[in-house]
Amino acid sequence: MFMGRLDQDRQDPGVKTGPSLVRSLPAVVTLMLDEILASTDDAQSAGFFRKIGERIAGELDVDGIEEAEDLVDAMNGLWRILGWGEVRLELDDEGIDVYHRGMPMDLESDEAGNWGKVAPHILVGAYEHWFHRLGSGTTIATRILRRSSDLILLRHGY
């Protein structure tokens, strides 16, 4: 019945042409992004998308991982599944630099570029979740240092 209505709507001159919301998941995601960003200030939207990142990170069990190389392999396995690039970590005495390359920064139908604004916050939430699970103090934060079309550089620590 629903598909029949879609076929009928395609022929209805009152239905918008082009990417229809009922036929395009990226268009629905774009509308959701637009609404969230219109309804929140920068800190609220960053917090919301960090929480999304935490939930994504929760899909990967990092408990028991002791070597940085094994952690990177596990993280990159998840990023490969999502098509979200790859990570390289650099550890020092005061924290971890996270070099995330290849995160898609464009989303079909997102003319405002909102996906590129929120994607780094999703990564912040994911990495912070993993580092906290592995024992970094919960008062130690992850922050965005730099972002470009191909690199998001994060810092966990001081």
Give the pLDDT score at 109.
Answer: 85
Please name the amino acid found at residue 31: L
d(Cα 29, Cα 119) in Å, to the nearest integer? 13
- Tell whether the model's pLDDT for residue 5 goes beyond 50: no
Of the ranges 25-29, 37-41, 50-54, 69-73, which one carries the lowest mean pLDDT score? 25-29
Q: What are the distances in angstroms from CA 132 to CA 60, 89, 128?
A: 13, 15, 6
Let me know: does 142 contact 156? Beta carbons within 8 Å.
Answer: yes
- Dump pLDDT digits (tens) for 72-108: 999 999 999 999 999 999 999 999 999 999 999 998 8
- What lies within 8 Å, CB to CB, of 90 at 6+ separation is 96, 97, 99
> Phi and psi for 99 in degrees, rounded to 5?
-105, 100
pLDDT recorded at residue 11:
54
Q: What is the pLDDT of residue 25?
A: 83
Per-residue pLDDT tens digits for 44-67:
999 999 999 999 999 999 999 999
> Assign residue 8 a region: left if phi > 0, alpha if psi is -120 to 50, beta otherwise?
alpha
Per-residue pLDDT band at 18 (split at 50, 70, 90): low
- Identify the structural domains of the chain with CATH numbers, from first to last: 21-157 (3.30.1380.20)
**pLDDT bracket for residue 23 (50, 70, 90):** low
